[in-house]
Structure 1
Amino acid sequence: MPRRTATMLASTLMLIALLCAGVLIKVPYSEMSPGPTVNTLGDHDGEPVLQISGRKTYPTTGHLNMTTVRVTSADYNMNLAEAVYGWLAHDNIVVPHDTLYPDGKTEQQSSQENAEEFSQSQESAKVAALRQLDIEVKSQVIVSTVVKGDPAEGKLHAGDVIKKVDGKPVKEMTDVSKLVTQRKPGEPVTFTVVPVKAAAAAEKAGKEPTETEDIKITTKAAEDDADHAVVGIKAGTDHTFPFTIDIKLADVGGPSAGLMFALGIVDKLTPDDLTGGNFVAGTGTIEDDGKVGPIGGIEMKTVGARDKGAEYFLTPKDNCAAASRDVPDGLKLVKVDTIADAVKSLKKIRKGDTSALPKCTAS
């Protein structure tokens, strides 16, 4: 066999071997890529994303798009070839598997957690939007979960409204743990609650619940601190809205759409058209008080937004540095720290006063 032919054959066989190795060798990595974006002012799968009844709404124009990130599943075994391709691709990011699924989290556990976070973000978006518009939202502290096998099991139930602990009024959910920990482990603590059924009946009737029960529970020591008293519940906040707001969007998880949902609600409830017809996208968690928090995958979200036509991207303050390192051409990043900031910036965009927009920087 001529040397040249032998060399080419050997090179071909080596290339085939490398390609096979790349496919067969599994690596502990996952991939993130731009996901779909949805206009919170528009329709999705044939129905409006935001549906408001019992309150006057106003026409809207333009876009207020929430953005998403696609990630490989928890049980997906990436091979070396896919990892190399992902590292080379401009619009994808390859990260260690444990970054997305820490502590061996399964696909089912991750999906459940994302669904819970998404549901909570919708609730907080409604509260933040109405408070931005000075519309009263009634709140009450409730039992969110009861830990199986702990002292509260069978005595307190998810949905019970917590009025007092040891006779002291509960205004915020953090009050519960503060009051319980004033006891020593093994000492009793008394919860004054409205049972969940009575609370639901009162809400349905549009009345304030009046039926309360005093429930005595013997505390125990926390697993990580022998001096810390616990009863085995997690407190939460339940809100009562003066009219109905439904967010119709399935197959999305996590808390990062909170800001854009809140802005969509504000836009529909006010006569001024917030966007002025412009295409605005964004991301960010939202707290009940309107505070905007950072999210993951910001680089993927800006790419996805620009690919759909966005001109402006509302960016949480703490994501600005990462987002500014590689901004898609034609996209302007707008820094936001609260829903009030975002509303002010949208008004500037509507008026064309874009030079005054708060800018993101790489530092």
Structure 2
Amino acid sequence: MSFWNRRNRTVVLGAVPVVVLLSLIGLPRIPGTDIDLTVPYAAQGKGPTFNTLGDFEGRPVVEITGADEDKTTGHLNMTTVSVRTNMTLAQALGRWLFTDDTLVPIEQVFPPGQSEDEVQEKNAAAFSTSESNATLSAMNYLKRPVEPMVMDVSDKSAAQGTIHINDVVKKVDDVDVKLPSDLAREVQKHKPGDTVALTIERQKRIEKIDVELQNKPEALRKRGESGDIAFLGVTTVAQPADGLRVNYNLTNIGGPSAGLMFSLAVVDKLSPGELTGGQFIAGTGTIDADGKVGPIGGITHKIRAAQDAGAKVFLVPADNCSEALSAERNGMDLIKVDSLEDAIGDLKNYTSGKDFDTCS
């Protein structure tokens, strides 16, 4: 009987598209074409964790100069979430079946209308803001003075060529400014075309500069901003005003969620005693200039990363507690925090054996 009978022919021909499909699911595009075969999903999982009291590539993660540091031991680890994109179907299925990653629509990672480069730039800016807020909230807790330092000057703005990066703004007209928000408030009291007299400190010299304000460009306006808005064209951050400097030496990390752990590290290094009690503490959370702790994404992945690294306790933003309780943690304590002061108080209670706020 011939092999190529009707039954065998049907089986073989029916298997052809299956074989073709299986050969394609591992490819990013169909060979010889521009047809994209990657899936519209991202995989989120546990990312690396860094001890903010330790070193990274030979430098302190949180580097303080201009002041004596108190001895610190133990860990205050910040945690991250890994994100994988541009996956083939086979890669996505592999992450889903064989890891603890979660698959989310790609729009949650790259919002419609934003390119990957734009999202990375936004995340880098958020990380920079978290560093500034961490320093400011720590200085406020420690009751140390701060001042607004210029970190960027907008192209073609009134400030370009007149105000320099690292200038410290002391006054607008005759009004003292202590914070970046003070500078913004005083500028907003004016109209485009007005001239303001700025007193700045540049390389330890005091100078006075007159600047004619412009109208804020449309591209830089926030949602809802309209009409004439006075625009100086500088971005400032709060830095300690007494010669102390705080530098953060992590690279290729984005987003705002390291703020709390950075701030705790600064406080621990500049105040007597140890926040950790020599123990392995990990955590996450945004922080604003007033020390308020905000929620973050990927809390279950961060808890798992901390547990795998050896943490015994995890600091959880209060708004993330419900989700955090769903994570496998094998007895690791979850401390609920809503402010820097709250986190410090609970850590002191935890390390001394007293009661502390938990997520349960």
| TM-score (normalizing by structure 2) | 0.79
Structure 2 distance, partners of 1:226, 1:252, is 34
How many Å separate the matches in 1 of 2:287 and 2:246?
17
Whether the 8 Å contact between 2:187 and 2:232 is mirrored in structure 1 is no
- Code of the residue aligned with 2:266 in structure 1: it is I
Partner of 1:272: 273
State how 1:140-289 maps to structure 2 within 5 Å.
Answer: 140=148, 145-149=152-156, 161-162=168-169, 170=177, 172-175=179-182, 178-181=185-188, 188-194=193-199, 199-202=201-204, 210-217=206-213, 219=215, 227-231=227-231, 233-240=233-240, 241-289=242-290
CA contact (8 A) 2:127 2:254 kept: yes
Distance 1:284 1:56, change over 3 A: same
Aligned to 1:40: 52
CA–CA distance in structure 2, aligned partners of residues 280 and 226 of structure 1? 46
Alignment of 1:28-177 (within 5 A): 28-72=40-84, 76-89=85-98, 91-134=100-143, 136-140=144-148, 145-149=152-156, 161-162=168-169, 170=177, 172-175=179-182
Tell me the SS of whatever aligns to 1:194: strand
Q: Alpha-carbon deviation of 1:79?
A: 1.9
Partner of 2:359: 360
Structure 1 residues 175 and 332: alpha-carbon distance in aligned structure 2, compared to 1, 3 A threshold: same
The CA distance in 1 between the partners of 2:60 and 2:210, in whole Å, is 44
Distance 1:290 1:149, change over 3 A: same
- Report how far residue 146 of structure 1 moved: 4.7
Q: 1:219-250 CA deviation, whole Å, 9 max, x = no partner? A: 47867765333336255334235434443333
Specify the SS of the correspondent of 1:69: strand
CA–CA distance in structure 2, aligned partners of residues 178 and 244 of structure 1? 25
Deviates further, 271-280 or 297-306: 271-280
Which ranges of structure 2 fall in alignment gaps of 5 or more residues? 28-36
CA offset at residue 313 of structure 1?
A: 0.7
Matches of 2:125 and 2:212, distance apart in 1: 30
Between stretches 266-275 and 170-179, larger displacement belongs to 170-179
Contact 2:315–2:334 (Cα < 8 Å) also in 1: yes
Task: Give the Cα–Cα distance (whole angstroms) in 1 for the partners of residues 338 and 316 of structure 2.
Answer: 9
Classify the secondary structure of the residue corresponding to 1:236. Answer: strand
Instruction: Write the letter of the residue equivalent to 1:212.
Output: K
Summarize the Cα distance change of 1:48–1:27 in structure 2 as closer, same or farther, 3 Å threshold. Answer: same
Work out the CA distance in 1 between the residues paired with 2:20 and 2:275.
58
Q: CA deviation at 1:46?
A: 4.0
SS of structure 2 residue aligned to 1:36: strand
SS at match of 1:211: strand
| Conserved 8 A contact 1:163-1:192 | no
Structure 1: runs of 5 or more not aligned: 203-208
Quickly say closer, same or farther: Cα 1:261–1:112, change in 2 above 3 A: same
Alpha-carbon distance change, 301 to 220 in structure 1, aligned in 2, over 3 angstroms:
closer
Determine helix, strand or coil for the equivalent of 1:305.
helix
User: Equivalents in 2 of 1:294, 1:71: separation in Å?
Assistant: 18
Distance 1:238 1:80 in 2: 46
* 1:305 Cα deviation after fit: 0.7
User: 2:334 is matched by which residue type in structure 1?
Assistant: L
**Cα RMSD for the two superposed structures:** 3.5
> Are the counterparts in 1 of residues 159 and 234 from structure 2 also a CA contact under 8 Å?
no
8 Å CA contact 1:167, 1:190 repeated in 2: no
Partner of 1:345: 346
Report the alpha carbon displacement of residue 262 of structure 1 after superposing the two structures with TM: 1.9
- 1:20 is matched with 23
Count of residues in Structure 1 that have an aligned counterpart in Structure 2? 343
| Cα pair 2:303 2:327 within 8 Å, conserved | no
